[in-house]
Chain A
Amino acid sequence: MIEQSAQAELTEDYLARLDAVQPSDLPDELDLFDETTARRGIRLNKAAYSLKDADQRDLFARDEEAWMDQFGLTEEERRLIRSRDWIGLWRAGMSIYVMVKLSGVTGTPLPEIGRQMRESG
């Protein structure tokens, strides 16, 4: 009984809209920043977002390890930052919009990130 009434409420139109909110049919080379990425990347994103702040940029320049200590990064995440592995950072959930801030402080031009991205395929 309960199931039947739920089915009546969950109309086809509703279910189609629910389905459309989460893209599910993208080819592998097109990414999304969604639940999976947001949860995976939260530490890396917090770290790179901090670089909006000039004091954080100074600390990064002075002592990158001390800068990284603030964000509870995993050893693997620290390795990705140390090695300027942009594609690895992307796969680990870093948003391109904060990656740009990390590119600034490391003196990496966007075309270099682009080159790595293209070669990742």
Chain B
Amino acid sequence: MRKLFTIVSLLVVLSFVLTACGGGAAPTQAPAATQPPAATQPPAATEAPAATEPPAAGEKVTLTIESWRNDDLSIWTDKIIPAFEAKYPNIHVVFAPSAPAEYNGVLNTKLQGGTAGDLITCRPFDASLELFKQGYLTSLNDLPGIENFGDVAKSAWITDDNKDVFCVPMASVIHGFFYNKDIFDKYGLQEPTTREEFMNVLKTLKDKGETPLVMGTADQWESATMGFQNIGPNYWKGEEGRQALIKGTAKFTDEPYVKTWQDLADWAPYLPQGYEAEKYPDSQTLFTLGKGAIYPTGSWEISQFEKDSGFNLGIFKPYVANAGDQCYISDHTDIAMGMNAKTPHAEEAKTFLSWVASDEFAALYANALPGFFPLSNAKVTLDDPLANEFLSWRQECKSTIRNSYQILSRGEPNLENELWRVSAAVMNGSMTPEQAGQEVQTGLEKWYKPQ
């Protein structure tokens, strides 16, 4: 009896091992499997004919959009898609987003498994370039409407030899600081423009018992994207510094970079208590509840904040080191849309992409999503005052993009991931700004020849 028990229990354990390992190791068991399979298939009515054949006229085709913008679900389903469907009644479009942090992994898995949607929202630069190289995205050189975009707009979604464009640029976002006007007015504070003014504002607010700066480091990317890449361009002179990194004439151990991290370290005493475990949604909620004065972030927050905050919102641009310095802003080409090369509805997908390239879409998108600024040459009037203010910075300051996005994140260790990690560690006080520079530089030198 006992012996039997032992044998049976051993079998149980063994099967556990196999089950567990099989589950972890099998490439077929991708986490994407838990998501509803993307509707690459036509709806039930058209299912009878082979899915690869173009459907006969009059039949309705469903296109699915893959995206990481789950915040925009209602805007797509209520505003953008109905406008398109009104024009093209026999195409039905479904917006199917996944969580931002998981999007790349989920999308790659879906593409490899052949279950991805017909239209793919493109991350800028290498992630999408790699998809194009692997044949998952099609070239859109001859797409009607692609001529509406300038070279800068297309730069994030073009091959290195500038020959093939594979995504239709949709929008860029601009980094900056939001602030609570009511709190500023209460203490008679002005929008800070220099580093000194900014630190003084933080100190005053702290002395008055407010939470001066809202930001958490738990998700790591906020520290890099909304901290490092937000204020950094003023130190490394925007494009000049970014190109110097690519050429290898500048290093992350140089003064501008260490100074940027030093600023982040100096912010730490003004952050909410327990910011080390504070996540992005915590920060958003804290700020919109009026419990913090300043929130370093970007224009993509406008619509959410305008809806949720019960106070007067203001924005100011990243501070410069000394009064009168040339200012730089991070005006990041962020979103585009491409076509799944294996879609059975290529014609319809192209129709949709042409519409995305049109002036009508630019105006609709920019106004439905204030804070996402169109990249096409279309003249778009924005209704939102905050969005207009963000856009006005393009006149005063020089634009640049995040320095880790073009070319520099092609190797191991991945520069973007490294910047997340060290920026969060600097804010947590577990790494000095000099160490951060040294670690990032060492990582980059390992694989990037010009450095």
State yes or no: do A and B come from one complex: no
Residues of A within 8 A of B (CB): none
Residues of B within 8 A of A (CB): none
